[in-house]
Structure 1
Amino acid sequence: MALQSDNDVSEKLKVLREKFLTRARSDIRELSGYAEQTRSGTLSAEGLIRCYQSLHRLAGSAGTFGLPRLGEQARLIEKQLKSQAEALGETSEAQRQSVEVSDGFADSIDALASLIEESSENLSSAESGNLTSPDQNRFEGSHGMQIRILLVDDDAGGQVASLATELGRYGFICQFVDQRDETALEGIFSGITGASSILCRDSAMPVVMQHARKQENEGSRRRPPVVVIGANDSFDNEYRIAKAGASAFFSAPVSVPELAERVELLAIERSSGVNGRVLIVEDDAELAEHYCLVLSAAGIEAKSLTDPRRLMAELYSFQPDIVLMDVQIGDYSGVTLARLIRFESRWLSLPIIYLSSEDDRDDQLEALSKGADEFLVKPVSDDYLVRSARIRCYRARQLSDLMNRDSLTGLLKHSLIKQELEKELARCRRFGHLSSVAMIDLDYFKQVNDTWGHRYGDIVIRALANLLRNRLRETDMIGRYGGEEFMVVLPDCSVQAAADLLKSIGESFSELVFAVGEKNFQVTLSAGIAGVNEFPSGAEALEAADQALYQCKHEGRNGVAIYSANK
């Protein structure tokens, strides 16, 4: 769902509140009819169940739309009917028989009618006035957008500023900021756009964090991560730096590959464009739309589902990070739906969070034991909903990355990058554009491991992964194929354009210096490229790229070769 302006969202929420009031009045008129039936002794089991479902929906939604007293009263009446309604729901053959309910039920229903009019006169729009804007909490960016590093030092040739050249080889845009220039320091936090990190010495950290806190107090967007370099790596010094708010600390002399990797990960973590996907399973249409609007305004892609029969189809089409689901959705039990979702191994790790007015702890635990992960009790404020969804989506994606990404590099695993190649071939056929696939291999990598050890071999592999992420587009897909081999899928990119790009990346990589004590070494790479469109399957295109890679190695390594059927 596209992001919308605060005014646009507020207007839509106002319309939803009016729709809720109209529906709530209609529900209460229906409930009043049930109340009269109880007085005449004609209330059927089916009527009691419908009454219970209507009260459950009202209890869960009234608070969100600014009528908390109405929701609380509806919840109290719902509790009176809960055990009886659930028991009757298990005996469908007795649905039409008349039933008795507890004393005071009819009078409590009558009180709802006067309460909604009293509450609606004082309806507050405070909830919708505190929308969380995506611009307040994130920067745009991901791999494919160059990361800017602001090097804060008191000397353009100093310890931190001198790292600009080496970090620039990884594809970072480096900018020196004089820590003595107050105007420049203020501009760091007020003028940053895109994925960025701040790099400073520990002696400069107090003044850097002073400006960071000033911007945060003025309501600026979330500050970029601050990475600190210092010679004192004692526990007390590192504790002081952590307490001040630093995101990372490196003791001098700095390992540039490890510094580059950390800076990139921190910047990308703070720059996530969309904060996740949320599927909302809720039979209250106005409430579901309210949740979707609020989440969407905060940069979270949300979709609502009011018909549980379409649940499994929506899971596969929408691929949510989390599911927010009521415990009772009309005639369907959310607890049973959670168990149904777990029938398929694909969804065993999908977080399911109940969003319900159910506040009995024992009932909550019982519901959780059937397949869900957590409980959020309605009514939920807009801000709390956004923060809860964002945190849970972030954790869900972390777990997904652990399963789908290579632990050393953070790139797609072997099987997944091959799947992306097949998907790109299908897109090429559908849209008619040219795309390329490349195989990349580190030259003489066995010698690196034999000479310097596997620890430094891992550093070299991570360095290439970081360089590829920084130099390739967001639409490009990168995977670790195995060992020191990488696979890259380049959509809408001819083989010649791909060759020029990888040649430039290879030149930058060959300039990286890896230090081992007082010694250092450098590594080169070879790459083979094939046109995705030229083959009937992704596997054959990959085989062609592999043949081109071996051709490059045969011709002396440290270069790029394009597959040709004539060679």
Structure 2
Amino acid sequence: MTSEFKKQLSQLTADFKQEIPLRLSAIKQEYQLINPKKWHAGAEKKLYALLHKLAGTAGTLGWHALSEASSELLKQLSQISAQATPDLSMWEKIGLTIFDLEQIAEIQVIKQPDELEMEFPSTVGQLIFIVDDDNTLTELLANTLHNKGYITEQFNSPDDFAQTCRNGHYPDLVLMDMDFPDGAFAGGEVIAQLRHELDIHLPSIFISKHDSMESRLTAFRAGASRYLLKPVNLEQLCRLTDELCTPCGEDPYRVMVVDDDNYTLHAFVIALEAAGMVVEGVNNPLEVLDRVRLFMPDVLLLDVYMPEATGPEIAAVLREEEQLSWLPILFLSVETDPSKHALALAHGGDDFLMKPIQPNYLQEAVKARAWRARRNRQLMRAALATL
């Protein structure tokens, strides 16, 4: 299965490479059709959409230089669109950069796109790092996890753990204490530092004696998957470990991805299927309501900018149905403007995932949302059963 997924991804990247000149040509033509001296609201809408798709798809498939240049153009275009009368010098600068995209693409074609990191289902025991200066606890946790078939490595200090990660040795999951001699929140701080320094997402369960809001916020700002209090409930820990480490199960997570760019859509479908999820891709936003009713996903991923209907518009429609009120909706976008994020979320979305999205990060973000959705439904059913 691993080789098949990689083959699909490689073919997708090769097909996109052939289409890049057509996309760049469409962007140049659209720019030339706009007369800044006859500017009106929405004049840049189609150009913005074309650049948005290029930035997201290029980044998703490893063409990072092209993606970054397109994202920078989007920022400049947003500044101009907010003006009643566009700055002509800035408009000309945008034009020059658009024509430079062709050269950027040619350079990257010679270099080849960066290889995407992707997690694939495996029968090999998952590796768990246990980081705690309490040797008795680490031995207890290690023995418990060994009995369930996991491989563990133990660290007494965050520094030793961090150096191992810097050497390129990453676990499938980290069990991290929060409090060390270096500081009360040293565990969370080192995870956050590695995330920023190495640009990686480390699935983590924090185990702490601190039940304070500050400690919990430190953990979740570092990207924590779960937060447990000491003394550790081993049964609960094993259940959470299985949920976070097992890519395939008897009842895999169901995810729907909606994006009218087929390259981005297929890349996300491949990435999520590689993590053992059941995925349905939709490239026509007008079909989403009917498809959601039939498929009943645990999580819905919606592109923000689509011509037939935007992601926020679709979210607003779905929220009108009571049976879909629980559905986690994650918007996909290269948009960085917080005000636009807030406006989109006000229509019923739960969060933003910024394009380009590394496959491993996408997998973990979706798994975390799917787990919470199922857990909330279970709690709701249990509560109703007691009435």
When the two structures are superposed, what TM-score results if normalisation uses the length of structure 2?
A: 0.67
SS of the equivalent of 2:92 reads coil
Q: Which runs of 5+ in 1 are unaligned?
A: 89-99, 140-188, 190-200, 224-237, 250-258, 408-412, 415-481, 484-567
Q: Which residue of 1 aligns with 2:278?
A: 301
- Counterpart CA distance in 2 for 1:341 and 1:42 is 38
- Counterpart CA distance in 2 for 1:358 and 1:385 is 17
Distance 1:264 1:69, change over 3 A: closer
Q: Which residue of 1 aligns with 2:118?
A: 131
Distance 1:108 1:331, change over 3 A: farther
- Counterpart CA distance in 2 for 1:78 and 1:204 is 52
Partner residue of 1:355 out of 322, 332, 340: 332
Q: Structure 1, residues 438-475: CA drift from partner, whole Å, max 9, x if none?
A: xxxxxxxxxxxxxxxxxxxxxxxxxxxxxxxxxxxxxx
When the two structures are superposed, what TM-score results if normalisation uses the length of structure 1?
A: 0.47
Q: Which residue of 2 aligns with 1:108?
A: 97
Shift in Å at residue 17 of structure 1?
0.7
Residue 237 of structure 2 is aligned to residue 248 of structure 1: no
For 2:345, the aligned partner's letter is L
For 1:29, the aligned partner's letter is S
Partner residue of 1:216 out of 140, 152, 156: 152
SS of the equivalent of 1:7 reads helix
- Work out whether residues 63 and 114 of structure 2, in 8 Å CA contact, stay in contact via their aligned partners in 1: no
Q: Structure 1, residues 163-182: CA drift from partner, whole Å, max 9, x if none?
A: xxxxxxxxxxxxxxxxxxxx
Percent identity for Structure 1 against Structure 2:
23
Higher relative contact order (CA 8 A, sep 6+): 2
- Work out whether residues 58 and 74 of structure 1, in 8 Å CA contact, stay in contact via their aligned partners in 2: yes
For 1:338, the aligned partner's letter is A
Number of aligned residue pairs: 309
Question: Equivalences for 1:67-216 in 2 at 5 Å?
Answer: 67-82=63-78, 102-127=91-116, 130-135=117-122, 205=140, 208=143, 215-216=151-152
Shift in Å at residue 206 of structure 1?
7.4
- Counterpart CA distance in 1 for 2:100 and 2:79 is 22
For 1:367, the aligned partner's letter is A
Shift in Å at residue 208 of structure 1?
2.2
- Counterpart CA distance in 1 for 2:378 and 2:289 is 23
Residue 291 of structure 2 is aligned to residue 314 of structure 1: yes
Distance 1:70 1:206, change over 3 A: closer
Partner residue of 2:263 out of 286, 299, 303: 286
Distance 1:86 1:216, change over 3 A: farther
Shift in Å at residue 82 of structure 1?
3.8
- Work out whether residues 275 and 394 of structure 1, in 8 Å CA contact, stay in contact via their aligned partners in 2: no
Shift in Å at residue 50 of structure 1?
2.4
Root-mean-square deviation (CA), in Å? 4.3
- Counterpart CA distance in 1 for 2:60 and 2:228 is 37
Residue 312 of structure 2 is aligned to residue 335 of structure 1: yes
Question: Equivalences for 1:306-455 in 2 at 5 Å?
Answer: 306-404=283-381, 406=382
Q: Which residue of 2 aligns with 1:21?
A: 17
Residue 1 of structure 2 is aligned to residue 12 of structure 1: no
Q: Structure 1, residues 116-174: CA drift from partner, whole Å, max 9, x if none?
A: 111122123421xx3212236999xxxxxxxxxxxxxxxxxxxxxxxxxxxxxxxxxxx
Distance 1:243 1:264, change over 3 A: closer
- Work out whether residues 36 and 91 of structure 2, in 8 Å CA contact, stay in contact via their aligned partners in 1: no
Shift in Å at residue 44 of structure 1?
9.8
- Work out whether residues 145 and 238 of structure 2, in 8 Å CA contact, stay in contact via their aligned partners in 1: no
Shift in Å at residue 338 of structure 1?
1.0
Distance 1:76 1:267, change over 3 A: closer
Partner residue of 1:56 out of 48, 52, 59: 52
- Counterpart CA distance in 2 for 1:70 and 1:45 is 28
- Greater Cα radius of gyration, structure 1 or 2: 1
- Counterpart CA distance in 2 for 1:221 and 1:76 is 34
- Counterpart CA distance in 2 for 1:340 and 1:86 is 28
SS of the equivalent of 2:353 reads strand
For 1:134, the aligned partner's letter is P
- Counterpart CA distance in 1 for 2:33 and 2:11 is 34
- Work out whether residues 301 and 330 of structure 2, in 8 Å CA contact, stay in contact via their aligned partners in 1: yes
For 1:358, the aligned partner's letter is E
Q: Which runs of 5+ in 2 are unaligned?
A: 128-135, 154-168, 175-207, 210-226
